Amino acid sequence: MFEKLLENGFQVEIHSHAKAILSVDFPDAVTELESVISTLSIPIEEIIGSGGGETQGTQRLRNGLADAGWKKMNFVVEKRINGIAREAISHEIDHVKMFAAGVIACEIEWNNKDPFYDRDLENFKRLHADGAISVGIIITRGTSMQDSMRDMVYRFAADKSLNSHEAVETFGMARTARQKKEVERRIKSGLSYEEAWATHFVSDKYGAATTHWAKLEDRVHRGVGNPCPLVLIGLPASIVTFNENIDLEKIIDTEQTMVETGIVSPN
């Protein structure tokens, strides 16, 4: 199951009999997910230009799922006494699809604060307990991507000769006084400007407290979301591409437009 993803370096972890459920009742769901996810690529410029928020690459993933029928859905669980509504709890899930055998729910956590995993897993747990979903799926940054993020950003900085605050700003990335100070502090410890900038950028935008595989795996292994059947999918470093010469300023402008129009939320 998910062999195509595994062959391409994606991480896949399956819990609570999700493999049996998907293979028997939802083979089409597996095929659709593989078809959309396996084609994903993210130019390094989008990782830089997103400033740590959701990349245009993950928006393409969302659009691909939506085109395949995986739409946003708001589940409302209502308690009634003698026909009178007493209380209701809603759970909004970004990607949901109904199949003949039931419903599959999917969330993409590219780069939120890691407590968002608690929200997702608890939502899946409650919805599964209420019979609303059969399986919950979370797609996030995989181990190889998280571990390689600093090296990938450094490669970008070296390729583009981002060797000073002025060079970074000329390239289209505004720097705050705090960010400049942090880079200068790292330079004093012996790093080159490119190394210092890349190290600070990753720490600031894609740090340990954001959503990545280790944070998700830790929660699931502690039982968060149990007993909902779960599939965890980690995006690998291999989907990040270089030398596409994409206009970074255009990416930043597009990212700001998506935030302003509510398509994505600021990080």
Reference 231, options 147, 100, 140, 132; nearest CA is: 140
DSSP bridge partners of 87: 79
Give pLDDT tens digits for 193-248: 999 999 999 999 999 999 999 999 999 999 999 999 999 999 999 999 998 777 66
Question: Which domains are delineated in the chain?
Answer: 3-149+211-260 (3.40.91.20)
User: Would you say 99 and 25 are in contact if contact means Cβ atoms under 8 Å apart?
Assistant: yes
Give pLDDT tens digits for 110-149: 999 999 999 999 999 999 999 999 999 999 999 999 999 9
- Kindly give the pairing relationship between strand 240-241 and strand 230-235: unpaired
Gap between the Cα atoms of 239 and 255, Å rounded: 20
Q: Which pLDDT value is given to residue 267? A: 46
**Residue for token digits 């969302």?**
62
Confidence of residue 256 (pLDDT cuts 50, 70, 90): low
Segment 71-85 shows an average pLDDT of 87
| Chain length of the chain | 267
pTM over 0.75: yes
Gap between the Cα atoms of 142 and 206, Å rounded: 12
Q: 212: left (phi > 0), else alpha (psi -120 to 50), else beta?
A: beta
Average pLDDT of the chain, as a whole number: 91
User: Would you say 58 and 46 are in contact if contact means Cβ atoms under 8 Å apart?
Assistant: no
